[in-house]
């Protein structure tokens, strides 16, 4: 089985609850995320429906989920991802089926709105790809795992106090491609050069200089703190009047 990472916390926390509750609720409403979403709204493409605010489907959770509980007093266990002291931790919890259902109910509005926004973003991206022309292109952008700055033959104390370089990749082509491969290729190129001890890599500028000397196929530039601060100010002004798309767990 492949190792799955970078899972969405909104989807996964609901999915973890469904995994524990599905056999305690009659029907297929809790069998998977798709069935669960469909059971909660009358129109998944309607913005008013998805946060369960629409009067015609605001009681769907009670009707399809709560009313189909087999035995609300049975004790069960479930998992939830939580942020504790800055770290994401998968925590085991336990309680009655009723308590699990109440926890699931508390996540519904946030989950449905998140699903709606995610689907709309994906729809827009797919439409954008089909509407490109000589004046419009689509560039796929991704965040690669940080490159941990290491040295060949470094002392033990240095091993536990490494700095890192954040890598953001953008990929443009005429066919399908995996944008993750760009970040991985650059990190591998730099690491192989570090192992030779011919080059020193202590910061982002060193990382870029090494990469530029070893590959011409990938365009690499440094984004400084000054660049970030300037962009941040521009984006804050641009998005100051937009709807919020960030929710609490």
Whole-angstrom Cα distance, residue 50 to residue 47? 5
Q: Which of 66, 97, 94 has the alpha carbon at shortest distance from 79?
A: 94
User: Are residues 220 and 208 in contact, defined by beta-carbon separation less than 8 angstroms?
Assistant: yes
DSSP 73: T
pLDDT at 114: 92
Q: pLDDT tens for residues 23-42?
A: 999 999 999 999 999 999 98
Q: Per the structure block, which two tokens stand in for 202?
A: 């202590």
Determine how many CB atoms are found less than 10 A away from the CB of residue 243. 6
Q: Are 64 and 36 in contact (CB under 8 A)?
A: no
The pLDDT, as a whole number, for residue 177 is 52
Contact predicate 104/95, CB 8 Å: no
- What integer pLDDT is reported at residue 71 of this predicted model? 96
What CA–CA distance (Å, rounded) separates 247 from 93? 22
Q: Left, alpha or beta for 27 (phi > 0: left; psi -120 to 50: alpha)?
A: left
What pLDDT, in 10s, does the model give residues 91-116? Answer: 999 999 999 999 999 999 999 999 99
Helix H, strand E, coil C: the string for 133-157 is: ECCECCCEEEEEEEEECCCCCCCHH
pLDDT for the residue 22: 96
Q: Rounded to the nearest 5°, which phi and psi values hold at 129?
A: -65, -35
Residue numbers in the chain where pLDDT is lower than 50: none
- Phi then psi for residue 9, to 5 deg, are -70, -30
Dist. CA 199–CA 194, nearest whole Å: 6
Is the pTM for the entire model greater than 0.75?
no
Residue 25 burial by CB count (10 A; 0-12/13-18/19+): exposed, middle or buried? buried
Look at phi and psi of residue 132 and say left if phi exceeds 0, alpha if psi is from -120 to 50, else beta: beta
pLDDT of residue 150: 78
Q: Which pLDDT score, from 0 to 100, does residue 5 have?
A: 62
User: Quick one: tokens of 158?
Assistant: 């240095």
Tokens 């709807």 correspond to 243
The pLDDT of residue 212 is: 92
Q: Are 215 and 208 in contact (CB under 8 A)?
A: no
């Amino acid at each position: 089985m492949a190792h799955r990472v970078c899972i969405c916390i909104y989807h996964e926390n609901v999915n973890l609850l469904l995994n524990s509750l599905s056999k305690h609720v009659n029907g297929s409403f809790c069998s998977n995320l798709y069935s669960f979403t469909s059971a909660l709204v009358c129109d998944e493409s309607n913005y008013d429906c998805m946060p369960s605010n629409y009067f015609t489907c605001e009681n769907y959770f009670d009707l399809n989920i709560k009313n189909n509980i087999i035995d609300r007093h049975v004790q069960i266990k479930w998992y939830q991802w939580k942020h504790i002291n800055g770290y994401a931790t998968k925590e085991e919890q336990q309680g009655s089926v009723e308590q699990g259902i109440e926890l699931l109910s508390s996540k519904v509005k946030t989950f449905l709105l998140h699903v709606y926004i995610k689907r709309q973003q994906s729809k827009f991206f797919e439409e954008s790809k089909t509407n490109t022309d000589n004046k419009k292109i689509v560039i796929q952008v991704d965040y690669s795992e940080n490159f941990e700055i290491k040295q060949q033959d470094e002392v033990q104390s240095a091993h536990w106090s490494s700095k890192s370089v954040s890598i953001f990749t953008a990929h443009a082509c005429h066919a399908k491609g995996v944008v993750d491969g760009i970040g991985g290729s650059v990190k591998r190129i730099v690491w192989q050069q570090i192992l030779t001890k011919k080059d020193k890599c202590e910061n982002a500028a060193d990382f870029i200089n090494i990469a530029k000397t070893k590959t011409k196929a990938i365009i690499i530039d440094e984004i400084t703190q000054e660049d970030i601060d300037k962009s941040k100010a521009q984006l804050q002004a641009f998005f100051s009047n937009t709807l919020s798309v960030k929710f609490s767990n």
